[in-house]
Structure 1
Amino acid sequence: MADGQRGAVVRLLWGPPVTPARGPRRGLTLEQIAVAGVGIADADGLGGVSMQGVAGELGVTKMALYRYVPGKAELVALMVEAALPDPGAAWDAASAGAGAGGGWRERLGVWARELLAGYRAHPWLLDATVGARALGPREVGWLERALAALEGCGLSGAEAMDVVVLLTGHVRGIAGQERASGGAAGVEEELGAVLVEVVRGRGQEYPALAAALGSVAEHGGQDQGLEFGLERILDGVGLLVERRTGS
């Protein structure tokens, strides 16, 4: 995203309410425009979103829409801001579930699960939230909550940011796998069923895989990718916190 375009996005996301500089006022708000775009993206994916399509949903011409939003990049930025869950609500859930304020581990756990819920509700967010771009207040609020959970843990600012990047990457990986499987949450179970068919009769060639699949069939434990990865990440962060704080 070019600097000029990034500046336009920042003004839309953080500046005062936009009113058209010319032409008749149609009473549109940026929220209405964003919601219309979100509805199209939820139905047809991010590639299905166009200025013309959003204008049609709102009952205005494309030129009228341009008086509010300069182009698709700015439109998508508004859509991301509208589609992400409210980080304040997620934080309230974390506090309620983990006691008064909650510990850093409990809060980051809820943070990650709530973020996954957002990607599940709007899978196109995976495409819209990549690369160097301007972030809106809600998305910055998510970053703030995660970093606030790590205050007092003895981590440097860079380490705390890396923890957030690591957690976000894990959540995005799970969400991406689910989307690739048509939105089904049972991705590991589906893959396991395929592997069972492939390995059947070939146990001598793939003994470790055959043993793992046999254990799953006997004891279960599949489709725990989110929780298993999340707990292992937090275990590692916990070791670093202990090293930094001596507790």
Structure 2
Amino acid sequence: MDGYEVLWGARPATRRGPKPALSLEGIARTGIELADAEGLAAVSMQRVAAELGFTKMSLYRYVPGKAELVALMADLAMGAPPELHGGWRERLDAWARALLPRFTQHPWVLEATTGPRLPGPNELAWTEAAVAALAGTGLRGSERLDAVVVLVGHVRGIAQQAAATPDGNPEQQLGSKLAELLREHGDRFPALTNALTDTGGQDQALDFGLARILDGLATLIATRST
């Protein structure tokens, strides 16, 4: 069984006789619980097997190795995308806001979904939903795909900041540290000092960045329509 079969293979139909001792979903959920509690480094075939009360070798009957296990875990943790309604902008806004908690609730997914790899059906369904939201806008296929990449990058950046400060608000913590530095060194950084004293509120990075990305797409879509 290879990575493709683990993620995309048809699940065997129920047959007469004793049920299999383990299931791919059960194995993956055990791995998710470990990763949520202790991080992705804590996940190994040996550890997952022990948590399930089986031997490491018995796990290899279902999953060929850790890479395939982590891919399965990430796809299961992502889950299916939400139903989207409204115009393209409303749909992409809702899509991005629904994606963020999938990363913040399972921070290890950020690491597990980086670089060239085989995406699973749930992850691909998220991409499909976002690309479909831009159908009929006049954007070329490459532009629709690039727009999704930009949106994912923004959401991932916010999630990474949140993962780095699990005990509090990342923007607030950064602002506090900067304010402390600028009290002593503000004369060297006047523009930054001025910006920090005229914030108009914090913790707006997701909203601000999302709005600007969608504004840019709206401008591009308008040029296509003319």
Q: TM-score range with shorter-chain normalisation? A: over 0.9
Distance 1:52 1:190 in 2: 38
Distance in 2 (CA, whole Å) between partners of 1:214 and 1:42 is 37
In structure 2, the partner of 1:120 is 104
Q: Which amino acid aligns with 2:161?
A: Q
Query: Partners in 1 of 2:184 and 2:118 — Cα distance?
Result: 53
Alignment partner, residue 67 of structure 2: 73
Q: Distance in 2 between matches of 1:77 and 1:203?
A: 47
CA distance in structure 2 between the partners assigned to 1:228 and 1:18 by the alignment:
47
Give the C-alpha shift of residue 229 in structure 1: 0.5
Could you tell me how far 1:205 is from its partner in structure 2?
A: 2.4
Question: Over the residues paired in the alignment, what is the CA RMSD in angstroms?
Answer: 1.7
Matching residue of 1:158 = 142
- Residues 8-47 of structure 1 aligned to structure 2 (within 5 Å): 8-17=2-11, 26-47=20-41
**Deviates further, 166-175 or 192-201:** 192-201
- How far is 1:45 from its partner? 0.7
Say which SS state the counterpart of residue 60 (structure 1) adopts.
Answer: coil
CA contact (8 A) 1:12 1:18 kept: no
Post-superposition, which runs of at least 4 consecutive aligned residues in structure 1 deviate over 6 A?
none
Which TM-score applies when normalising by structure 1?
0.85
Partner of 2:47: 53
Secondary structure at the counterpart of residue 153 of structure 1: coil
Matches within 5 A, 1:87-106: 87=81, 90-91=82-83, 94-95=84-85, 102-106=86-90
Displacement of 1:222 = 1.1
Q: Quote how far apart the aligned CAs of 1:36 are.
A: 0.6
Distance 1:142 1:183, change over 3 A: farther
Give the AA of the match of 1:240: L
Shift of residue 26 of structure 1?
Answer: 4.4
- The normalised TM-score by structure 2 is 0.93
> Mind listing any 5+ residue stretches in structure 2 that lack a counterpart?
none
Report percent identity of matched pairs. 54
Instruction: Give the superposition deviation at 1:183.
Output: 5.7
Query: Given the alignment of the two structures, is residue 228 of structure 1 paired with residue 208 of structure 2, yes or no?
Result: yes
The amino acid of 2:194's aligned partner reads A
Shift of 1:104: 0.5
Mind listing any 5+ residue stretches in structure 1 that lack a counterpart?
1-6, 96-101
1:215 aligns with 2:198: yes
Residues 167 and 230, structure 1, Cα contact 8 Å, conserved in 2: yes
